[in-house]
């Protein structure tokens, strides 16, 4: 009976792309969903948006982490390829899967909230465009596209710097399976501290996929900002630059000073490998 339900093993790269698609789908369902609820239904506020995005990230990482590493973000994938040896052969597939997951999730949000969004913004204007993609100054504050560009570099640099610290086994990473939750809290913190100038996209797939979905479903100004300037490129290019900056700074300021896997000096905090070894000994 067990053999009847056994699922055939999926080729590695295909499975990883499927996981990236699924994890990013979950992320955007919560992220765009909460913004639609706040903008369309006036239920919630900035804090609920920040928390839902953070939990969306955490849940997406839990979904995909075991299979693909749960990048869920082209900027993360590219930075890991540049600095951590992630295979460049997999980069295009990961980015395509992440973007497709974000696109499909945004279509689901658009469909589910279609009546509510139509009631508050029947013309599909900038007023509700922020449900799906980011704008300088969140569409209302006096921030230019270059101010948003700067902001996205800084915000994504923070993201990658801390992610690398949290996942570096030579450092003091979270115990058990807490890393996805802590990464989610990181995104909440970025949203609460760095959400004004550009809506903390910090993820090209998160912005481009939903932006494309909104354009195909009636938002004719989806590619521009409130000033009429072409804007879609900002949350694509700036996060990639920021990710590279953040990863480079982590290596420069922290990574190169961490102890190796050699025996640790008395008084040093135990490494993750050492903790795992001791736990295994106790279990045995």
pLDDT digits (tens, 9 = 90+) for 85-132: 999 999 999 999 999 999 999 999 999 999 999 999 999 999 999 999
Residues of the domain holding 114: 13-256
Nearest-angstrom CA–CA distance, 74 and 57: 14
- The mean of the pLDDT values for the chain is 91
SS3 230: strand
Bridge partners for 224 per DSSP? 230
| Beta carbons of 23 and 101 less than 8 angstroms apart | yes
* Residue at 279 is within a domain: no
Nearest-angstrom CA–CA distance, 222 and 230: 9
Q: Which residue intervals of the chain are DSSP H helices? A: 12-41, 46-68, 74-83, 91-112, 114-120, 126-129, 145-167, 179-193, 204-216, 234-253, 272-283
Q: Per the structure, how many domains does the chain have?
A: 1
* Residue at 266 is within a domain: no
Taking 80 as the threshold, does the pLDDT of residue 260 lie above it?
no
* Residue at 138 is within a domain: yes
281 falls in which pLDDT band (50, 70, 90)? Answer: very low
* Residue at 246 is within a domain: yes
For residues 107, 109, 114 and 119, what is the CA-based torsion angle, rounded to 10 degrees? -140
pLDDT, tens only, 25-79: 999 999 999 999 999 999 999 999 999 999 999 999 999 999 999 999 999 999 9
* Residue at 284 is within a domain: no
* Residue at 43 is within a domain: yes
* Residue at 51 is within a domain: yes
Nearest-angstrom CA–CA distance, 115 and 173: 45
223 falls in which pLDDT band (50, 70, 90)? Answer: very high
* Residue at 263 is within a domain: no
Residue 168 belongs to domain with CATH number: 1.20.1080.10
């Amino acid at each position: 009976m067990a053999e009847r339900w056994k699922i055939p093993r999926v080729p590695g790269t295909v499975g990883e792309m499927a996981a990236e698609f699924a994890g990013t789908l979950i992320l955007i369902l919560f992220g765009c969903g909460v913004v639609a609820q706040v903008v369309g239904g006036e239920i919630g506020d900035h804090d609920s948006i920040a928390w839902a995005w953070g939990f969306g990230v955490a849940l997406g990482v839990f979904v995909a982490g075991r299979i693909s590493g749960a990048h869920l973000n082209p900027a993360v994938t590219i930075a890991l390829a540049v600095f951590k040896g992630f295979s460049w052969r997999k980069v295009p597939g990961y980015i395509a899967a992440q973007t497709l997951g974000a696109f499909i999730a945004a279509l689901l949000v658009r469909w589910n909230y279609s009546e509510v969004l139509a009631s508050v913004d029947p013309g599909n204007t900038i007023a509700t465009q922020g449900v799906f993609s980011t704008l300088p100054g969140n569409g209302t504050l006096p921030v230019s596209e270059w101010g948003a560009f700067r902001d996205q570099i800084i915000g994504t640099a923070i993201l990658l710097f801390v992610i690398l610290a949290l996942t570096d086994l030579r450092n003091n990473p979270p115990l058990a399976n807490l890393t996805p939750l802590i990464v989610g809290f990181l995104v909440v913190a970025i949203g609460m501290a760095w959400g004004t100038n550009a809506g903390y996209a910090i993820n090209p797939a998160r912005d481009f996929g939903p932006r494309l979905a909104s354009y195909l479903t009636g938002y004719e100004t989806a590619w521009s900002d409130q000033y009429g300037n072409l804007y879609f490129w900002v949350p694509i290019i700036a996060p990639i630059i920021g990710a590279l900056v953040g990863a480079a700074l982590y290596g420069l300021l922290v990574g190169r000073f961490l102890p190796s896997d050699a025996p640790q000096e008395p008084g040093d905090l135990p490494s993750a490998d050492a903790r795992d070894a001791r736990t295994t000994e106790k279990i045995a």
